[in-house]
Amino acid sequence: MIHQDKEVKSTKNKAKPSCCCSHDEPVHTENDGHDHGGHDHEHNVDGGLFKLFLPSIISFVLLIVGIAFDNYFKQEWFAGYVRIVWYAIAYLPVGIPVLREAYESILKGDVFSEFFLMCIATIGAFAIGEYPEGVAVMLFYTIGETFQGMAVKRAKTSIKKLLDQRPDEVHILENNVAVKVKAKDVQIGAIIQLKAGEKLGLDGELLSDSAFVNTVALTGESKPATKKKGDTVLAGMINGNTIIEVKVTTAYSDSKLSKILELVQNATAKKAPAELFIRKFAKIYTPIVVYLAIAICLVPMLFVSNYVFTDWLYRALVFLVISCPCALVISIPLGYFGGIGAASRNGILFKGSNFLDSISTIQNVVVDKTGTMTEGVFKVQDVIIKPEFDKDEILKLVNVLENKSSHPVATAIHNHVGTVDSSVELKDIEEISGHGLKATYKEKDLHVGNFKLLDKFNISYDIDPSTIVYTTIAIAYGGKFAGYLTIADEIKEDAKETVSKLKALGVKLTMLSGDKSNVVQFVADKVGIKNAFGDLLPEDKVNKVNEIKAKNETIAFVGDGVNDAPVIALSTVGIAMGGLGSDATIETADIVIQDDKPSKIAMAINIGKQTKKIVWQNITLAFVVKAFVLILGAGGLATMWEAVFADVGVALLAILNAVRIQRMKF
């Protein structure tokens, strides 16, 4: 039933952006088998730091010994082919993986990759006799890649540990005996016995009379929740102080926590504009730099009288090392992934880094009332039925009709009236969008909804609905006004704080609702929203949003993920409340607030702003340093050592800046 205020969220058909870069995405799902530097760093961090850095350690020791033989402890035998072979052996542990990556990239048609740049720069250094520098460039590049892989791995692992709270094993009852089995092998319908302090492994239905559960794994909030017999309990919830029994209703791989985990792990698939720009830029930028390096090497031959090929080749090689776009291509996605991780820790799920970007520039937040600024838990306050009607019969009919709806108002009526009378058979049941429900009983029409429903069917009534502050459900039977029910909903405790925070961020708020205008205005006044509109049909809400869009301003719509498709389609970003209770929400929302707290709206905007700030700091740092050292390199004033800093050093600084967001408090 569509009463006054229940908002909808529907699928927004957002096109998935394609990756335009010549590099593989550095932040992957668990099984893609590739990492940025070609060394499998992401996947081997757990094998120990020594094993991880072993190739670099071997190269470093051989390089240092070689430099010592060259400059401090000169040896007659350390010359000619012996010296070349020594540095070649030092080069191979760090060079082979990069050479392999360059070769594989070329086979895929991606010639101008950063691996290719490193290979021609270091091999070129060997060609002109600069063996130590050739080894040093590849060594420091590899160390940089290792640290990058570790940073990505750490970011992914921290998020996975945060979210994947499911136990690997559970106890199921077989012939009233608890048997330990693998959670992934448990069948739907099995009965799990959960002791005090244990985590639930699968979603299910509570069979015990009641239970206290901690939902921190799902919402970020450790406040215990009370569950009653028949309620849904979810994987990751921690049982309180008694043994409970749960009937499994969802397979292990389909649990709510599995979907949340998959959502966060795959969030980088939808890339932010800054990422897409850098990737497109790198695809064009890298070949240009290669051709410029060739020009730096050969063009001076036409103009410089004392031209020395090896000198200008060295300058060109330095230029190539500096030009590697590694710092940008790695640190920017890592910055967005850090933002997604920070949001996840606070119970906010972003479906992609593009939404982090979008929400950072939001100018208007449009909220629904029920379930967003109010609890969405209705209770019947008054029952007013005219004397000429049988009160019990009318309530019985209303209860049967409302049984066709999952609206919170319907739930309130069920809770007030009691068990649905299965002997009552209603015919021609019809839902009238934005108005209510209509049916036929004993050849008489039954109307239950708002007063607009009665107006639509020309049914007169002798009260003024605007004088009633509560949500009102009008009832008509046999073409006559039979009376009404009043239903109240509580304002969320952090609703007023939410409005203050959003105003402090410079965001304008609007409340749109199908509920009565005076009810909507009452709630709006309580929380501090000036622009509030009630008595709206779905098409009216579309018109209100279009009015905001006509000002060329961005809009975030916040609803409970159940039924406002037109408004969601128009919004820049769709934010859904109630991710903990609705599978449809996780599937369709751009951003999901798991614990239903409206204050998380402001937090999400703040996380978006901080993430974008860090990303642009990294872009600026990389461009400024690289441009400066490129000029020095082209002029022969920079050596390979400055080139290494411009590439690997800047990349490491950018990465350290990117991971900083994961430690911020919002």
Q: What value does the CA radius of gyration of the chain take, rounded to a whole number of Å?
A: 32
Task: Report the C-alpha gap between 590 and 578 in whole angstroms.
Answer: 13
Other Cβ atoms less than 10 A from the Cβ of 561: the count is 29
Residue 551, H or E segment: none
Which residue(s) pair with 374 in the sheet?
491
Q: How many helices (H) and strands (E) does the chain have?
A: 22, 22
Q: Are 244 and 211 in contact (CB under 8 A)?
A: yes
Task: Report the C-alpha gap between 585 and 573 in whole angstroms.
Answer: 14
**Buried-state track 225-251, b at ≥16 Cβ within 10 A, e below 16:** bebeeeeebbbbbbbbeeebbbebebe
Q: Can you read off the two tokens belonging to residue 434?
A: 């934005």
Q: Can you read off the two tokens belonging to residue 258?
A: 């599995």
Task: Report the C-alpha gap between 271 and 267 in whole angstroms.
Answer: 8
Q: Are 507 and 490 in contact (CB under 8 A)?
A: no
Q: Of 85, 315, 300, 223, which Cα lies nearest the Cα of 595?
A: 223
Task: Report the C-alpha gap between 29 and 34 in whole angstroms.
Answer: 10
Of 5, 203, 357, 368, the catalytic one is 368
Q: Per residue, what are the HEC states of 92-106?
A: HHHHHHHHHHHHHHH
Q: Are strands 573-577 and 591-593 parallel, antiparallel or unpaired?
A: parallel
3-state secondary structure of 174: strand
Q: Can you read off the two tokens belonging to residue 511?
A: 């409340």
Task: Report the C-alpha gap between 90 and 59 in whole angstroms.
Answer: 4
Q: Of 338, 337, 361, 343, which Cα lies nearest the Cα of 607?
A: 343
3-state secondary structure of 244: strand
Phi and psi angles of residue 51, each rounded to the nearest 5 degrees, phi first = -65, -40
Q: Per residue, what are the HEC states of 7-25?
A: CCCCCCCCCCCCCCCCCCC
Q: Give one word for 552, left, alpha or beta, with left for phi > 0 and alpha for psi -120 to 50.
A: left
Task: Report the C-alpha gap between 498 and 561 in whole angstroms.
Answer: 19
3-state secondary structure of 575: strand
Annotation says 535 is catalytic: no
Distances (CA, A) of 142 to 27, 55, 166, 538, 650: 18, 9, 36, 57, 14
Would you call 269 exposed, middle or buried from its count of C-beta atoms within 10 A (0-12, 13-18, 19+)?
Answer: middle
Q: Are 125 and 316 in contact (CB under 8 A)?
A: no
Phi and psi angles of residue 598, each rounded to the nearest 5 degrees, phi first = -65, -25
What residue spans of 408-494 are helical by DSSP H?
Answer: 408-417, 451-456
- The set of catalytic residues is 368
